[in-house]
Structure 1
Amino acid sequence: MNPAQSPETQTAELNPAREDFASLLEESFSETEPQEGSVVKGTVVAIEKDLAVIDVGLKTEGRVPLKEFSVAGQEPDINVGDEVEVYLERIENALGEAVLSREKARREESWAKLEKSFEKGEKVEGVIFNRVKGGFTVDLNGAVAFLPGSQVDIRPVRDASNLMNTPQPFQILKMDRRRGNIVVSRRAVLEETRAEQRSEIFANLAEGQVVEGIVKNITDYGAFIDLGGIDGLLHVTDMAWRRVNHPSEIVNVGDTVKVQIIRINPETQRISLGMKQLQADPWEGIEAKYPVGAKFTGRVTNITDYGAFVELEPGVEGLIHVSEMSWVKKNVHPGKILSTSEEVEVQVLEVDPNKRRISLGLKQTQENPWEAFAASHPKGTEIEGTVRNITEFGLFVGLEGGIDGMVHLSDLDWNKPGEEAIKEYKKGDTVRAVVLETDPEKERISLGIKQVSGDPFEGLSGLKKGSTVTCEVEEVKDSGLQVRLADTDISTFIRRADLSRDRSEQRPERFAPGDKIDAAVTQIDRSNRKISLSIKALEIAEEKKAVEQFGSTDSGASLGEILGAALNKAQGEESDTKTDGGKK
């Protein structure tokens, strides 16, 4: 106490104010009392059922579930008196107890360590404890990380139960403390370890070497064989010389198999394996075993859009192309002709030992219906059949043996154009036709319908240019007359200019359908089956003949008089013939 001070001042120092005591007390507590939101140390004072009672130096204890003291998949290891670190969330709750968390304490501690490991690229240890959408959750000593399904193993894992609740190393791929996200990979660790093992094992392997391995995985295209730390692919085509539809026909997961190393790729460290290479090649001497033209019995192993494969012996298959399956069934899927596992007789068509291919024929073991038809129906034979199809170029007529013959448009009718004649037919009609030509090699049969009635031009063999014929008018047109030769089915056309010598009489309307008229033949084209007629030419020919018989018109007689005289003479000769009983 300072003697120089006044009594009032000395009294104030000896008796501090109540407010000063309160601030000093608060300062004292703040220096020793734990703060909310921090990790503090505490002592386990009791264990009640599934809770641990922990004293962290506050007015009251806090309770923490025992499960927060355990590592995933293990029992909690905690006893009364143990000193533990916990996270103080609240100093006092509604029950007057401290709110503590061991998980958050571990998480805070773990995050700090994980961040250091992530920066250094070090591996961390964790436990897979739960499956979630897209992968798994991993306990990294308090911090929860996500393990994507693609990062579990080097190859897809169907059953991960054996990986659960087992401490194992992981590689941290990504961390975001603000969001609380950690992504880890088990695959990265395995690949690193595997790379080291592969390099060592790879150096001791060589192409052609025979080794043993264990079937690790099976896919649709082959099996992966574990050769003691490095995998090789046994492709389905190298499992057996015969066709293998699925690898499971030959091997199962876990089988110990003997294989030969076919290829080694040093760059990718990929190894191709084979089993069939340890067996004799059935294709050796194949040409002698299956000569061209020989017939064998085999089993259908596979059917495709382009044909069917037939096994002649284990490891040797031949292809029946769809074109060699049937003589008559064209554009039909092979599955409608053959079925898988069916026993069939085939003929060898071609053998290529270099490409390991054998071409087989099925139809060659059956009678060729085209050759059979040609033998029993020579050219000129008349047949009967049903119209199966009508096309723009003719009719297809069904014949014996399931084959078709074609009637071309030009062979439908002697007189009508083919485009017009074909309109008279429809599918299902029964028709008679004549065999015109058969070509078994090209599988073609030409038929003719018009040939059944015979060629009407053959009846005109005595007809020549200048002959006079009688016709019947069929149709009157502005350009002339459509006429048909009497007693025949031959039609032709007389042009307007050929209707008369006299221009004023060249009128088609002078005639009517059904009229009988005479005309002269001006041209016969037997190759093109055409005949040309002219009334005008006939009049000129008759005039010339009259002039030759009765003299020139220079005598003063008119043409009408000459023709009249010729007509009278002709009538007189006819009368004399009748009087003499037909004799002159």
Structure 2
Amino acid sequence: MAQMMEDIEKSMKRLRSGDIVKGKVIKVNENEVLVNIGYMADGIIPRQEISDDENIDPRDILKPNDEIDVLILQMDDGEGNVILSKKQADQVVVWDELNDYFEAGTPIEVTVKEVVKGGVVAPIKGIRAFIPASQLSINYVEDLNAYIGKTLKVKLIELDKKSRKVVLSRKEVEKEERELQKKEIWKTLKKGEKRRGIVTRLAKFGAFVDLGGVDGLIHLSDLSWKRVLDPAEVVSVGDEVEVYVVDFDEKKERISLALKDVKEDPWKEAVKKYKVNDIVQGKVVRITNFGAFVEIEPGVEGLVHISQITDKHIAKVTEVLSVGDEVKAKIIELKPEEKRISLSIREAEDGTSEEVLQYVQNNEEEVTIGDLLKDKLKGLKF
């Protein structure tokens, strides 16, 4: 029996307060955890020594047979129990883990706990880690509170055990993810295909859309078939849009996109709908030195040359017309293959041919040219 006791004692670990040892969870309840640490007595982890989160239920994070690191607080609590701390062991062990992650550049997952001046705090096994606002995302972060409770994949960008300083970056992870996405997009991009994206920025000349790692540009003229003077008339930053890939150049990293449906070109319908001598209604959308552009339907515009505005001599188009004016014009030339329509306001104002057509349509009886023009001839002296 003496020999047996001696053998058992030799097989037992030599433990002392402050040691960190491996243990296996035997039992868990709401107040404590029982752990086998290879000693003559099992160890007990009180609830307050399990985690920094005082409200956590031990059963939510530990279960029987889990292997964990524990720090010995007391070899004997007076009742023969060894008192352990998991949270203090984690704080010691975690520095070695953090150093490995830091040197290897390996991302880790953390959960944001609170907002502080200049950024947010995300604890790592009891170690306070800081994420500066500038490192939360590639994009500008307006509301830091929106990150509370979020789990983020981050990289360690600064680590100092002596001063217990840990600085993390979500931005660095996003950069790497973006580079991978960019390579994938360039591999699969095709002209004429549809892609979904997010509007990231508006400029005078168009809107930039993130296709998931690469930005493309929708030029003003490709936002809509109708004339657009400001991209904000059609889209806003943050909008999710479906766009057509018009063209791209990987070397220059340029992608041209179109928001308008390239298959629904209104000029295709214009060929069927309009012909020379037709009288059309339209709105003046742009004025130049040489004439005025009139939109006769969304995406279809015609030019009224300055000489076709009025019978009177005018030096400037603005003497007669303003942007927004509703006008009646006659089609005097139609070249749909060149997307060109020439209009004449002065010929439409003559109106004789239109009157004749209207009269014939509304009167079934036989009429003469004299009947049609008699009102116009009244009062004229020969």
Normalised-by-shorter TM-score class: 0.5 to 0.7
Query: Residue 247 of structure 1 corresponds to which residue in structure 2?
Result: 234
For the structure 1 residues 136 and 261, does the alpha-carbon distance in structure 2 shift closer, same or farther, using more than 3 Å as the test? Answer: farther
SS, match of residue 61 in structure 2: coil
Unaligned runs of 5+ in 2: 1-13, 305-315, 350-382
Query: Residue 260 of structure 1 corresponds to which residue in structure 2?
Result: 245
Q: 1:299 touches 1:344 (CA, 8 Å); kept in 2?
A: yes
SS, match of residue 68 in structure 1: coil
Query: Residue 49 of structure 1 corresponds to which residue in structure 2?
Result: 30
SS, match of residue 327 in structure 2: strand
1:349-389 deviation digits (Å, cap 9, x = unpaired)? xxxx99x9x9999xxx9xxxxxxxxxxxxxxxxxxxxxxxx
Matched, 1:103 2:70: no
Q: Could you say what the CA RMSD is over the residues aligned between the two structures, in angstroms?
A: 6.0
1:152-191 deviation digits (Å, cap 9, x = unpaired)? 444457899799655x643222223333332223332343
Give, in whole Å, the separation in 2 of the partners of 1:150 and 1:319. 52
Give, in whole Å, the separation in 1 of the partners of 2:119 and 2:157. 15
Q: 1:68 touches 1:103 (CA, 8 Å); kept in 2?
A: yes
For the structure 1 residues 258 and 224, does the alpha-carbon distance in structure 2 shift closer, same or farther, using more than 3 Å as the test? Answer: closer
Q: What TM-score do the two structures reach when normalised by structure 2?
A: 0.52
For the structure 1 residues 128 and 33, does the alpha-carbon distance in structure 2 shift closer, same or farther, using more than 3 Å as the test? Answer: closer
After TM superposition, give the deviation of residue 210 of structure 1 in Å: 1.0
Matched, 1:270 2:254: yes
Q: How many residues align?
A: 295
Give, in whole Å, the separation in 1 of the partners of 2:257 and 2:197. 12
| Equivalent of 1:210 in 192, 198, 201 | 192
Give, in whole Å, the separation in 1 of the partners of 2:286 and 2:50. 61
Give, in whole Å, the separation in 2 of the partners of 1:149 and 1:50. 38
Q: 1:219 touches 1:247 (CA, 8 Å); kept in 2?
A: no
Q: 1:124 touches 1:169 (CA, 8 Å); kept in 2?
A: yes
* % identity of equivalent residues: 24
Query: Residue 164 of structure 2 corresponds to which residue in structure 1?
Result: 180
Q: Which amino acid aligns with 1:113?
A: E
Alignment of 1:315-464 (within 5 A): 315=299, 325=318, 344-345=326-327
1:218-272 deviation digits (Å, cap 9, x = unpaired)? 6445352537x655343454222313443349x952x5x35133232414x3322
| Equivalent of 2:207 in 204, 222, 227 | 222
**Greater relative contact order: 1 or 2 (C-alpha under 8 angstroms, separation 6 or more)?**
2
Alignment of 1:88-167 (within 5 A): 101-120=85-104, 122-130=105-113, 132-133=115-116, 135-155=119-139, 166=151
Q: 1:301 touches 1:311 (CA, 8 Å); kept in 2?
A: yes
| Equivalent of 1:191 in 175, 193, 211 | 175
Q: 2:30 touches 2:47 (CA, 8 Å); kept in 1?
A: no
For the structure 1 residues 88 and 345, does the alpha-carbon distance in structure 2 shift closer, same or farther, using more than 3 Å as the test? Answer: farther
Query: Residue 65 of structure 1 corresponds to which residue in structure 2?
Result: 48
Q: 2:107 touches 2:153 (CA, 8 Å); kept in 1?
A: yes
Give, in whole Å, the separation in 1 of the partners of 2:303 and 2:102. 61
Q: What TM-score do the two structures reach when normalised by structure 1?
A: 0.37
Q: Which amino acid aligns with 2:246?
A: I
Query: Residue 170 of structure 1 corresponds to which residue in structure 2?
Result: 154
- Whichever of the two has the greater Rg, that structure is 1
For the structure 1 residues 74 and 45, does the alpha-carbon distance in structure 2 shift closer, same or farther, using more than 3 Å as the test? Answer: closer
Q: 1:39 touches 1:87 (CA, 8 Å); kept in 2?
A: yes
Give, in whole Å, the separation in 2 of the partners of 1:195 and 1:129. 25
Q: Which amino acid aligns with 1:177?
A: K
Unaligned runs of 5+ in 1: 1-30, 328-333, 366-584
Q: Which amino acid aligns with 2:163?
A: R
Query: Residue 222 of structure 2 corresponds to which residue in structure 1?
Result: 238
Q: 2:28 touches 2:62 (CA, 8 Å); kept in 1?
A: no
After TM superposition, give the deviation of residue 89 of structure 1 in Å: 7.3
1:400-456 deviation digits (Å, cap 9, x = unpaired)? xxxxxxxxxxxxxxxxxxxxxxxxxxxxxxxxxxxxxxxxxxxxxxxxxxxxxxxxx
